[in-house]
Chains A and B, each alone.
Chain A
Amino acid sequence: MKLLTKTTLYFITISLFVFFAGGLGLYILMQNLVKNEVDAELLQRIHYVFNQIDPNDSLGPVHFIASEPIDIEKIHLPKQSSTFRFQDTVLFNDLTKTYAPYRELISIVKAGPDYYRIRIYKSLITSNTLIEKVALVTTLMLMLFLLLAYFLNRYLFSRVWFDFFATLHKIQEFSLTMPQKEAFSASEIIEFNELNRLLNKMTDKIINDYEGLKEFTGNLSHEVQTPLAVIKNKTELMMQEPLNKQQYEQIGSIYSAANRLSAIVRSLGLIARIDNNQFTETQPVNFKDLILLEKENYEPLMESRGIKIETEFSGQPDIQMNKELAEILVNNLIKNAVRHNLKNGFIRIHLSKQSLTISNSGENPGIPTEKLFDQFSRGSDKGFMGIGLSIVRKITEHYGMSVRYDYQDQQHKITVGFQPS
């Protein structure tokens, strides 16, 4: 969920709650106010009625003094001498033929020898209308306020968080192949300034570490070759001596291990050279020719394993690349398809303007296909270094191409997309 969405949701939820509670409170408050007002008026009127009653006379003039309905009822024995009781009620209006709300005051009065219960009423229609009007206006005002606050919130949000989003964008852009030091600029907002400062510190460290690592791999792959040459050459000399079977095997193992080590550091050196942008010379690459060349190269091996190869060329990518890297790319892909194939299996190569697809039969790799691009990840197929595909990925990354690996039902498929993904 976006930060803005989240804050807006909170804002709306809380506003609605406050709005509702406030409205309810206001309504109750206003009703009380009106009730007090009406009650005070009714009291005033009843006292006026009392004053009009002649203690010796009957209730003669009383009927005429009230503009609003008044009920007088003779009763026998009052429980209390004089009480005032308020209550809400409805009365039938003959004119409109509807019931209308009224406030009623009931009191008992002594006129002459008799006791009377007097009920006077005050219509609540106007007060209720007033409350409704006030409520409506308040609601409108609150809604207006809410709307205003919403847009203000959005506006302030984009203003206040502007630096933050700039930082976020820079983090997304961050790439070790084109490292940029001190990429995060200062901000007026202390928190964001701190964030940027820490990010600068962190990325500088990452860049430095990465540079160091690159230098280390570069040097290592170079420096290790001379001692390895000594091991290899001395072993080769020892092979020439008359040895027994066991000694031959041991010498063979040493030689084999030295070769593997040499190949590994050489591959790492290649990756380091790609990382160091040492393949600057580019030229248009004819992938069709490269594929045909490699196909010819592997033909004897494929024949010996009964592997059928089909090629389909429906187009040529229009791409500038380093020739050596293009060769390594195609070689590694085809070699991979030949090696991890089944006896009497197949290889299908399809080249189009957009992509190069190589599918082949083969066992289940046993690990997620994406992992096969990692260094030294070989899946279930033991006996290989597992560095060929990581070189493939490095080269495709270097030229902004895409690469994906699919496996389904004993069929492996690697697709190199020439257009940036």
Chain B
Amino acid sequence: MKLLIIEDDPEIQDSIITYLAPEGYACVQAFDVRTALDMITKNSYDCFLIDLNLPDGNGTEIIKKLKKDQNQGGIIVITARDAIEDRVKALEWGADDYLVKPFNLSELNARIKSLIRRIQFQGSQQIAAGELEIFPEYFKATIKGKPLELTKKEFEILMFFVSNAGRVIAKESLADQLWGDDSDFSYSFDFVYAQIKNLRKKLKEAGAREYIQTIYGVGYKFEVE
């Protein structure tokens, strides 16, 4: 799995690469439009992370070039612009996903995985995590073959946990996941706590091990091993 990360801030580049390292991707960096355009003609990548504001131009040039070349790689736009029209525009140009800076690395990780799944398996992949099996296409999950009755939100959380298995996930990231992009982000985490409580209960009732650990002061960790 080859990823091209086009982002001018070296710190952000570095963070993304460090976080994605355990996933086993081959990450390649580009810091401006010119280098990126050069690289995409010479090599092929499975996924592109593209910042829109680059020192020598706009990231949209790269998206347009990729689309023109009928490149099959997935495109995730990362940008500080949070207006819905910017998002709509990026998707219209051919981006597959859109993340607003400052994003959570866990969120980026989940999005990349979901995008790769969509491209490589047309989404019809089942994900196994311990006794759990997840069918993203149908929003279904089973424990030892027994189906779990989950609400949409609970399924989303479970999916997010599984995508970031073994990682510490801040409660803010989960709140982001649940509330969506919110102009007035809540730091009262009632909703998160309520959802996690329900999810834990349902997993326990289905006879699963205790997958969700609480990391005091930070958030949670979904541990399969």
Binding site for B on A (CB under 8 A): 222-223, 225-226, 228-234, 236-237, 239-240, 245, 248-253, 255-256, 258-260, 262-263, 266-267, 269-270, 273, 278, 281, 300-301, 303-305, 323-324, 328, 331-332, 335, 339, 383-385, 387-388, 391
Cα-based distance from A117 to B195 in the complex (angstroms)? 128
B225 an interface residue at 8 Å Cβ cutoff?
Answer: no
B153 an interface residue at 8 Å Cβ cutoff?
Answer: yes
CB distance from A14 to the nearest CB of B (A): 62
CB distance from A322 to the nearest CB of B (A): 9
Q: Which of A236, A255, A278, A388 has the most CB of B within 10 A?
A: A236
Cα-based distance from A253 to B217 in the complex (angstroms)? 8
CB of A259 within 8 A of CB of B182, answer no
Closest residue on chain B to residue A386 by CB atoms: B184
Contacts A226-B101, A245-B217; A237 near B15 (Cβ below 8 A)? yes
Q: Which chain B residues (90-132) contact chain A, with CB distance < 8 Å?
A: 100-106
Binding site for A on B (CB under 8 A): 9, 11-12, 15-16, 18-19, 80-85, 100-106, 151, 153, 167-168, 170, 172-173, 182-188, 190-191, 194-195, 197-198, 215-219
Residues of B within 8 A of A256 (CB): 170, 172, 187
Closest residue on chain A to residue B102 by CB atoms: A229
CB of A335 within 8 A of CB of B191, answer no
Closest residue on chain B to residue A222 by CB atoms: B80
Residues of B within 8 A of A248 (CB): 215-218
Cα-based distance from A331 to B190 in the complex (angstroms)? 17
CB of A305 within 8 A of CB of B184, answer no
Q: Can you report 17 A-B residue pairs in the complex whose CB atoms are below 8 A from each other?
A: A223-B80, A228-B101, A230-B12, A237-B19, A239-B168, A239-B170, A256-B172, A259-B185, A269-B82, A270-B183, A304-B190, A304-B191, A304-B194, A328-B183, A339-B186, A339-B188, A391-B183
CB of B85 within 8 A of CB of A225, answer no
CB of B190 within 8 A of CB of A262, answer no
Residues of B within 8 A of A258 (CB): 102
CB of B190 within 8 A of CB of A249, answer no
Residues of A within 8 A of B173 (CB): 236
Residues of B within 8 A of A263 (CB): 182-185, 187
The answer, among A233, A300, A331, for a CB contact under 8 Å with B182, is A331
CB of A249 within 8 A of CB of B217, answer yes
CB of B218 within 8 A of CB of A300, answer no
Closest residue on chain B to residue A391 by CB atoms: B183
Residues of B within 8 A of A230 (CB): 9, 11-12, 15, 102
CB of B172 within 8 A of CB of A233, answer no
Contacts A226-B12, A229-B102, A273-B83; A260 near B187 (Cβ below 8 A)? yes
Cα-based distance from A376 to B191 in the complex (angstroms)? 22
Residues of A within 8 A of B168 (CB): 239-240
CB distance from B139 to the nearest CB of A (A): 15
CB distance from B81 to the nearest CB of A (A): 7
Cα-based distance from A281 to B88 in the complex (angstroms)? 13
Residues of A within 8 A of B16 (CB): 233
The answer, among B184, B187, B191, for a CB contact under 8 Å with A387, is B184
Which 10 pairs of residues, A with B, have the shortest CB-CB distance?
A: A249-B217, A229-B102, A304-B194, A233-B15, A263-B185, A252-B217, A225-B80, A252-B218, A388-B184, A239-B168
CB of A281 within 8 A of CB of B102, answer no
Residues of A within 8 A of B183 (CB): 263, 266-267, 270, 328, 331-332, 388, 391
CB of A226 within 8 A of CB of B15, answer no
Cα-based distance from A231 to B167 in the complex (angstroms)? 18
Cα-based distance from A270 to B184 in the complex (angstroms)? 10
CB of B12 within 8 A of CB of A233, answer yes
Residues of B within 8 A of A270 (CB): 183
CB distance from A83 to the nearest CB of B (A): 108
The answer, among B151, B153, B184, for a CB contact under 8 Å with A391, is B184
CB of B102 within 8 A of CB of A232, answer yes
Cα-based distance from A323 to B11 in the complex (angstroms)? 36
CB of A237 within 8 A of CB of B172, answer no
Cα-based distance from A324 to B185 in the complex (angstroms)? 16
Q: Which of B9, B168, B173, B195 has the most CB of A within 10 A?
A: B168
CB distance from B28 to the nearest CB of A (A): 19
Cα-based distance from A228 to B81 in the complex (angstroms)? 14
CB of A301 within 8 A of CB of B190, answer yes
CB of B186 within 8 A of CB of A225, answer no
CB of B102 within 8 A of CB of A335, answer no
Residues of A within 8 A of B83 (CB): 273, 278, 324
CB of B218 within 8 A of CB of A255, answer yes
CB of B12 within 8 A of CB of A229, answer yes
CB of B19 within 8 A of CB of A233, answer yes
Residues of A within 8 A of B190 (CB): 301, 304-305
CB of A237 within 8 A of CB of B18, answer yes
CB of A236 within 8 A of CB of B184, answer no
The answer, among B103, B151, B167, for a CB contact under 8 Å with A300, is B151
CB of A259 within 8 A of CB of B187, answer yes
Residues of A within 8 A of B19 (CB): 233, 236-237, 240
CB distance from B101 to the nearest CB of A (A): 5
Cα-based distance from A417 to B18 in the complex (angstroms)? 51
CB distance from B53 to the nearest CB of A (A): 9
Contacts A226-B9, A230-B12; A335 near B151 (Cβ below 8 A)? no
Cα-based distance from A109 to B222 in the complex (angstroms)? 142
CB of B18 within 8 A of CB of A300, answer no
Cα-based distance from A56 to B206 in the complex (angstroms)? 159
Cα-based distance from A266 to B101 in the complex (angstroms)? 10
